[in-house]
């Protein structure tokens, strides 16, 4: 039996916006990601130069030494525009919330092994300040970067880090109390074990080249720190005292997987563009990897004792492998 749906069918005059059709090579339907991202940043006829940076135009590709023929080649493989970003994070949030609820309502925090508790508080709580620094850097990259394809996900990553700082704060309040947050901040400001890392964070705050900042923060610092914190230390604590802390850091672990898809693609595309880009990215990576590894050594030992150095080396090796795959000479 044939079913005829009586609807009005109108032939559209066009499938998408002109600038999108030019990029697609033909007037074809375009995804929401493409329509929301490609060529959205203005390029022409700026009325004024910024009074806060008269050396550059409002949007200026020369704010980095990386050179791209087309900055929109740096598309995000996750295809995150605001709508899909908010919904993706809301899904992670729902799970994280349920996990925090579970730990709290079952009294798992109270019953947690005291030695493991102390380690978790001493190690994870100060990391909320590293995440705050990452939030500032994400804002910098979005503000001064070039082309919506790269600036958009930089802001998303920066705001994710604020969320991470807030989850770490809640971990501190659940496993401990406000006094532990204060102690963590004191350690961040004064304890010798943390000063190398704090110096690295503050040094990133004065980097002018936003792409170098991307390598320092999103590749080196996030890469090595998250591997150490949410794989190595997490596994050690789980073995020692069960998965309570894993539940409270689940957001970070899953976020890291998601973020790496993007980071690896950005480096790969930028490195493939030219030998100059590849060399520059390689130099930046080598420099910041060195600084981060040195800074994290005492922190890894704080959490893992003698096993700290080997764990840190594994975390570094994992980022090396990713960057090698992305085309850097590592």
Partner 1 sequence: MDMKVSKKLGLKERYNLMTRDLAWTPTYQALKDVFPYMEYEGIKIHDWDKFEDPFRMTMDSYWKYQAEKERKLYAIIDAFTQNNGHLGVTDARYINALKLFLTGVSPLEYMAHRGFAHVGRQYPGAGPRVACLMQSLDEIRHSQTQIHSLSNYNKHYNGFANWRHQHDRVWYLSVPKSFFDDAVSAGPFEFIVAIGFAFEYVLTNLLFVPFISGAAYNGDMGAMAFGFSAQSDESRHMTLGLEIIKFILEQDPDNLPIVQAWLDKWFWRGYRMEFGRDNLDYADSQDKKNFEAWRAQSTSN
Enumerate residues 75-134 that contact partner 1 by CB under 8 A.
81-83, 86-87, 89-90, 92-94, 96-97, 109-111, 114, 128-129, 131-132
Task: Please give the distance of CA 276 from its chain centroid, rounded to a whole number.
Answer: 25
Contact segment (CB under 8 A) with partner 1 among 172-180, 252-260, 265-273, 283-291 equals 172-180
Residues 6 or more apart from 73 whose CB is under 8 A from it? 149, 269, 273
Q: Residues 6 or more apart from 198 whose CB is under 8 A from it?
A: 129, 188, 189
* The only residue of 5, 6, 14, 306 in contact with partner 1, by rule CB under 8 A: 14
Per-position b or e across 237-264, b if 16+ CB within 10 A of its CB: beeebeebbebbbbbbeebbeebbebbb
Among 142, 171, 271, 281, binds partner 1 (CB under 8 A): 142
Task: For residue 34, give Cα distances in angstroms to 68, 77, 314.
Answer: 19, 11, 37
Q: Which of 42, 77, 290, 305 binds partner 1 (CB under 8 A)?
A: 42
**Alpha carbon separation from 48 to 58, 122, 258 (Å, rounded):** 7, 49, 38
Coil, helix or strand at residue 9: coil
Among 62, 177, 240, 257, contact with partner 1 (rule: CB under 8 A): 177
Binding mask 271-310 for partner 1 (x = CB under 8 A): ----------------------------------------
Is residue 191 within the footprint of partner 1 (CB under 8 A)?
A: no
Cβ-based neighbour number of residue 39 at 10 Å: 18
Q: How near is the Cβ of 315 to partner 1 at its closest, in Å?
A: 24
Phi, psi of 60 (to 5 degrees): -145, 120
Q: Which is nearer to partner 1, 108 or 311 (CB)?
A: 108
Neighbours of 29 (CB within 10 A): 11
Between 169 and 283, whose beta carbon lies closer to partner 1?
169
- Nearer to partner 1 by Cβ, of 84 and 283: the residue is 84
By beta-carbon proximity to partner 1, the closer residue of 36 and 307 is 36
| Site map (CB under 8 A) of partner 1, residues 198-217, x = contact | xx--xx-xx-----------
Secondary structure of residue 42 in the 3-state scheme: coil
- Give the residue, chosen from 26, 52, 275, 306, that forms a contact with partner 1 under the rule CB under 8 A: 52
Q: Which helix (H) or strand (E) holds 313?
A: helix 308-325
Applying CB under 8 A, does 146 fall inside the site for partner 1? no
Judged by beta carbon, residue 94 or residue 276, the one nearer partner 1 is: 94
Among 1, 10, 26, 275, the residue binding partner 1 under the rule CB under 8 A is: 10
């Amino acid at each position: 039996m044939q079913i005829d749906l009586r609807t009005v069918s109108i032939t559209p005059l066009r499938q998408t916006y002109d600038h999108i059709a030019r990029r697609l090579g033909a007037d074809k339907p375009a995804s929401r990601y493409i329509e929301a991202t490609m060529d959205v940043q203005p390029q022409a006829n700026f009325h004024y130069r910024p009074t806060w940076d008269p050396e550059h135009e409002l949007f200026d590709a020369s704010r980095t030494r990386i050179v791209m023929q087309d900055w929109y080649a740096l598309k995000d493989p996750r295809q995150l525009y605001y709508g899909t970003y908010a919904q993706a994070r809301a899904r992670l949030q729902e799970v994280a919330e349920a996990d925090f609820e579970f730990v709290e309502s079952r009294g798992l925090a109270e019953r947690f092994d005291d030695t493991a508790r102390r380690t978790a508080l001493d190690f994870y709580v100060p990391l909320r300040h590293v995440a705050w620094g990452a939030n500032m850097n994400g804002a910098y990259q979005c503000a001064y970067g070039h082309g919506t394809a790269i600036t958009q996900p930089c802001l998303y990553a920066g705001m994710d880090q604020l969320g991470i700082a807030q989850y770490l704060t809640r971990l501190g309040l659940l496993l401990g109390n406000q006094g532990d947050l204060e102690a963590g901040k004191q350690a961040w400001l004064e304890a010798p074990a943390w000063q190398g890392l704090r110096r690295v964070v503050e040094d990133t705050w004065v980097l002018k080249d936003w792409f170098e900042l991307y390598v320092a923060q999103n590749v080196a610092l996030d890469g090595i720190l998250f591997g150490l914190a949410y794989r190595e230390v997490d596994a050690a604590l789980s073995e020692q005292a069960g998965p309570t802390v894993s539940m409270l850091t689940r957001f970070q672990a899953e976020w890291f997987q998601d973020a790496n898809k993007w980071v690896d693609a950005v480096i790969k595309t930028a490195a493939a563009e030219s030998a100059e880009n590849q060399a520059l990215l390689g130099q930046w990576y080598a420099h910041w990897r060195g600084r981060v590894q040195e800074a994290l050594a005492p922190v890894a030992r704080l959490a893992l004792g003698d096993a700290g150095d080997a764990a840190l080396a594994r975390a570094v090796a994992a980022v090396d492998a990713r960057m090698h795959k992305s085309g850097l000479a590592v």
